[in-house]
């Protein structure tokens, strides 16, 4: 047991703890009710991560029924959400159980990572063979479509990005990659012409033209830039962020919590959070590289991949570098579904480190 604790990745754990503390401080400043709810989720998450050395993830992961079971269970929940889910901010993404809300899209990410990790670990040499591309694409397409029709385009991009990432991690076939790029351009045109909602088109147009509709489509990003730009090196202090406290910054607890945190605690503190997150990803990648088999490698690298996609989309929208997609900052934004999903993935990664040491 003592030896197991020595092999535990305390740097990874500490970096996640730093991100959690930043989230709690920001929520305590803006919304005390959400602070206590988030605190409960963090307690559950860190207990799960700490006891990862006692959980036989290997015994579960090696069983196909476990991987496929989580995947198809997530698909079933997505179907239920699409038919009767709770609508929040115009998106039907949540199942409601009393006061508890759950977002199946997060479970779909976990299920897809586990399923594709097993799929590509057995076929990584032949990953670019037509039938393997088609079958893995099929697995990714189902949850992508179900999430997209909610409509949650941001989460759909993340889910589909997991498949693309796994394919690229398996090597690159230049000819088929070029064909895929052309298909993606064609698909983007069809998406724009027939599937995107008017507000989604407005967001993209607003990104291209930042001066367009400052009180409408670009309002969130402009307020986020003001919050970050007015923070200075050390911030305005706890509870003193004008953008947050006076309600000018929308979604200050979720999509724009990074901007909310920086306004009150400064650019230096914001950089520390970014570095803590990069440390999380780098530690997971290191564990993946050192993993003793391909299955473990794909699980860990898939975990790093989904965290990185979330991070880039969220930070990019907070800074105005990318369109607003409604994607949260993993383990920082308010929301139990994402925290629990990240905790499960990190718990598996910690167990992989233990078994690979």
Quick one: which of 62, 61, 41 has its CA closest to 348? 61
Determine the Cα angle at 12 with ends 9 and 13, to 5°. 85
Quick one: which of 21, 46, 28 has its CA closest to 339? 46
Measured CA distances, 307 to 2, 57, 292 (Å) = 30, 20, 22
**What span, in angstroms and rounded, lies between the C-alpha atoms of 86 and 95?**
6
Radius of gyration of the chain (CA): 20
Residuewise pLDDT in 10s, the chain (357 residues)? 556 778 899 999 999 999 999 999 999 999 999 999 999 999 999 999 998 878 878 778 888 889 999 999 999 999 999 888 667 666 777 888 777 788 999 999 999 999 999 998 887 777 778 888 889 999 999 999 999 888 888 899 999 999 999 988 877 666 766 766 676 777 666 666 666 677 666 666 666 666 666 666 678 888 999 999 999 999 999 999 999 998 899 999 999 999 999 999 999 999 999 999 999 999 999 999 999 888 999 999 999 999 999 999 999 999 988 888 889 999 999 999 999 999 999 999 999 998 887
Domain residue ranges of the chain, discontinuous segments joined by +? 2-356
Distance of CA 202 to the CA centre of its chain: 24
**What span, in angstroms and rounded, lies between the C-alpha atoms of 37 and 334?**
9
Outline where the chain has alpha helix (H): 2-7, 10-30, 32-50, 57-61, 64-84, 104-123, 130-148, 153-169, 174-190, 198-208, 219-229, 242-245, 257-290, 294-319, 336-356
DSSP 62-118: T-HHHHHHHHHHHHHHHHHHHHHPEEETTEEEEEEETTEEE-HHHHHHHHHHHHHHH
- Cα end-to-end span (Å), the chain: 14
Distance of CA 201 to the CA centre of its chain: 23
What's 194's DSSP letter?
I
């Amino acid at each position: 047991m003592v030896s197991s604790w020595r092999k535990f990745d305390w740097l990874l754990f500490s970096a996640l703890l730093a991100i959690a503390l930043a989230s709690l401080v920001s929520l305590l400043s803006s919304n005390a009710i959400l602070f206590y709810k988030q605190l409960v989720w963090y307690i559950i998450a860190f207990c799960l991560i700490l006891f990862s050395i006692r959980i036989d993830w290997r015994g579960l992961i090696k069983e196909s029924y476990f991987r496929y079971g989580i995947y198809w269970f997530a698909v079933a929940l997505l179907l239920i959400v699409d038919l009767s889910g709770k609508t929040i901010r115009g998106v039907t993404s949540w199942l409601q159980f009393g006061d508890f809300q759950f977002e199946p899209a997060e479970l779909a990410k976990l299920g897809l990572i586990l399923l594709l990790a097993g799929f590509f670990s057995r076929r990584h040499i032949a990953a670019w063979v037509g039938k393997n591309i088609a079958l893995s694409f099929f697995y990714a397409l189902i949850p992508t479509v179900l999430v997209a029709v909610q409509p949650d385009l941001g989460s759909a991009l993340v889910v589909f990005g997991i498949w693309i990432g796994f394919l690229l991690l398996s090597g690159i076939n230049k000819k088929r990659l070029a064909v895929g790029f052309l298909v993606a351009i064609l698909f983007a045109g069809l998406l724009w012409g027939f599937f995107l909602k008017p507000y989604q088109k407005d967001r993209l147009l607003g990104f291209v033209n930042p001066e367009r509709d400052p009180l409408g489509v670009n309002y969130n990003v402009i307020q986020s830039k003001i919050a970050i730009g007015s923070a200075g090196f050390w911030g305005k202090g706890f509870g003193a962020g004008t953008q947050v406290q006076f309600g000018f910054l929308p979604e200050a607890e979720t999509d724009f919590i990074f901007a909310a945190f920086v306004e009150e605690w400064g650019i230096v503190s914001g950089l520390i959070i970014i570095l803590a997150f990069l440390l999380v990803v780098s530690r997971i990648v290191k564990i993946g590289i050192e993993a003793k088999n391909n299955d473990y490698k794909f699980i860990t690298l898939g975990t790093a991949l989904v965290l990185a996609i979330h991070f880039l989309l969220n930070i990019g929208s907070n800074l105005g570098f990318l369109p607003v997609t409604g994607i949260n900052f993993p383990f920082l934004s308010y929301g139990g579904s994402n925290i629990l999903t990240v905790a499960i993935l990190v718990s598996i990664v910690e167990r992989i480190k233990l078994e690979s040491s």
